[in-house]
Structure 1
Amino acid sequence: MESSAPAVYGRAAYLMDAASGDVLFAKDGTERLPVASLTKTMTAYVVLQHAKPTDVVRIERADVAYAEDGGGTTANLRAGDRLTVRELLYGLMLPSGADAAHALARTYGPGVGGFVAKMNDTARALGLNDTHYVNADGLPTPRGDGYSTARDQAVLAAKALQVPLIKQVAGTGEHALAAGGEHRSYYWRNTNRLLGTPGAIGLKTGFTRAAGYCLAFAGESDGRVLVGVLLDESVSSRRFSTAEALLSWGSAHRAA
């Protein structure tokens, strides 16, 4: 199955056919590891189970302070602004805003703790039995990191991409929100450098010191969608070149 596959330097990797679930490549795919901001894919998925894209969320000072105090990446949200869930998903997925994650979790838990419980309930329902979330963003906590596996995150990616809005947002290179109503203007650029390569359709980047550089990725070729995950890569740029190589290789192969 893997003899002719590209070299993978990250600690764990997984590549599967999104429709059939057939496994094309696995390297320590069931090892429990921190997944950093790949967590936000589940956040987006759970939010859209409980909210309409047109629902409006008011940004609070606590959302901004959470991202600043935790050292997380932010969407540079401003307290007092009111943004729709749709717009916050762009802030969540493109610049990987911990402030957007906090605002969404706080609103649709209700409360962050309640939302994290929903994330874990959803993980169980999807069969992600080696996954445990401790927050909505993947930042380390004093109680320790959450964990998942490359396999679980690939299964989640396949499920999330069935949600049209998540697929649309994750595949967007940049998004601008003009000032209007009760919010100021915003501009977000996607951290996923895989976008723009042939067939690439998303999905999410991640990084913490504990997790290393992570990537959940997907691509489509001849109507076939492949999803994959790379965890704990030591070189940021290599996760994108490796993902591109795996997608290219996988499009020409079937599971053994």
Structure 2
Amino acid sequence: MRIFARLLQVAVAGVLVVAAGHGAAAAPAASVAHSQLPWPWSTPEPDGVRAPGAELADGITGTVLWSRGANDPVPIASITKVMTALVVINVGDLDRTIAVPQESIAYSAEHNGSTAGLVPGEVLTTRQLLYAMMLPSGCDAAHTLAQAYGPGQDGFIAKMNDTARRMGMAGTHFTDPSGLPAPTDHSTFSTPADLVTLGLRAMSLPVFRDIVGSPSYHLPAGPGNREHLWQTTNLLLNDYPGAVGIKTGYTDAAGTCLLFETVRAGIPLIGVVLHSSPDSEIAAKGDAERMLNWGYGPILSALPVS
């Protein structure tokens, strides 16, 4: 963390240089001594975070600022869909058309999963199905993509686990493309550290970044599909300055979870909270906000006021 603090200190100084270059009234950067910058953080950790599993990191290098239970494997619910999206995007062919199978609708209903309101037989592109999966957290869309890109669920889940292995996510295992409790509540699991690694990789892909940064997506009715309006479940995206994604999650075993990224003052931070509450999405959002406010504190307080 000391190394990152030094790097971030340089970044803040750079922000001040830019600010000075854009206004004659701004103080020259040379007048800002390092001792005047608020290092270290005013508190050693963010206050009031409820989640037993959490991590906050620099969104460029992945350097960890703070963590709790970083390597403890726990259920992650629909954050699983980030890996599903990553596998699909890596394969490519996002304009491929896919018919929604009846099996996908039945599977979501069987496990009481959230849906994108898809109906059997309607035809959407892979790109549209990614929006359907990531914004309203459609388990019907995730199952449809896995069937098409596995091919079949077993083949697709093998790709998910192989991708996790190649990324060094040793504390992660998938048994379902949605994060549903199938076959058990704890059969799909990951760690805060692994999920930050996953988030960094996924957010490096422009297609993924565009999708999870969208508050909503409207799909007009077409020859093969009905009209859909999908809205994000990520409360942070609309309410926190600089939020750019990523994914919520909830099951009885996982509680409320949130993988998130923000960019403020040109500096990205990425983090995750797991089981912030048994059932409150507001609690997960609040945990993320407390972590981000703590992380950005030294940066924002160093910026000149215009």
Q: Which residue of 2 aligns with 1:209?
A: 252
Change (3 A) 1:4 1:33: closer
2:295 to 225, 250, 254: 250
Deviation, 1:175, is: 1.1
Q: Runs of 5+ in structure 2 lacking a partner?
A: 2-42, 300-306
Q: Is the 8 A contact 1:171 1:203 kept in 2?
A: yes
SS in 2 for 1:250: helix
> Contact 1:72–1:98 at 8 Å: present in 2 too?
yes
Query: What is residue 136 of structure 1 aligned with on the other side?
Result: 177
Matched letter for residue 100 of structure 1? A
Letter in 2 for 1:43: T
* % identity of equivalent residues: 41
Corresponding residue number in structure 2 for 1:154: 196
* Secondary structure in 2 matching 1:219: strand
Q: For 1:182, what is the secondary structure of its paired residue? A: coil
Alignment of 1:111-126 (within 5 A): 111-126=152-167
Q: Which of structures 1 and 2 has the bigger CA Rg?
A: 2
Tell me the amino acid that sits aligned with residue 201 of structure 1: V
Contact 1:29/1:151, CA 8 A, preserved across alignment = yes
Tell me the residue number matched to 1:230.
273
Amino acid in the other structure paired with 2:137: S
**Secondary structure in 2 matching 1:26:** strand
Post-superposition Cα deviations, 1:69-112, rounded to whole Å, max 9, x if no partner, equal 11000001011111011110110001100000000000000101
Do 1:139 and 1:145's aligned partners in 2 also have CA atoms closer than 8 Å? no
Q: Give the 3-state SS of the residue equivalent to 2:193 in structure 1.
A: helix
Q: Distance in 2 between matches of 1:137 and 1:148?
A: 13
Aligned match of 2:168: 127
Report which of the two has the higher share of strand: 1
The normalised TM-score by structure 2 is 0.80
Q: How does 1:142-181 map onto structure 2 within 5 Å?
A: 142-143=183-184, 144-181=186-223
Alignment of 1:1-256 (within 5 A): 3-143=44-184, 144-196=186-238, 197-234=240-277, 235-253=280-298
Deviation at 1:253, TM superposition (A): 5.0
Unaligned runs of 5+ in 1: none
Would the aligned equivalents of 2:75 and 2:188 in 1 still touch at CA under 8 Å? yes
Deviations 1:200-232 (A, max 9, x none): 001000000000100000000122211100001
Query: Per-residue deviation at 1:4?
Result: 4.3
Q: Tell me, in whole angstroms, the C-alpha distance in 1 between the residues paired with 2:298 and 2:224.
A: 51
Contact 1:36 1:138 in 2 (8 A): yes
User: Which amino acid in the other structure matches residue 62 of structure 1?
Assistant: E
Letter in 2 for 1:103: T
Separation in structure 2 between the aligned mates of residue 80 and residue 87 of structure 1, nearest angstrom = 15
User: By how many angstroms is 1:67 displaced?
Assistant: 0.7
Which range moves more in the overlay, 126-135 or 233-242? 233-242
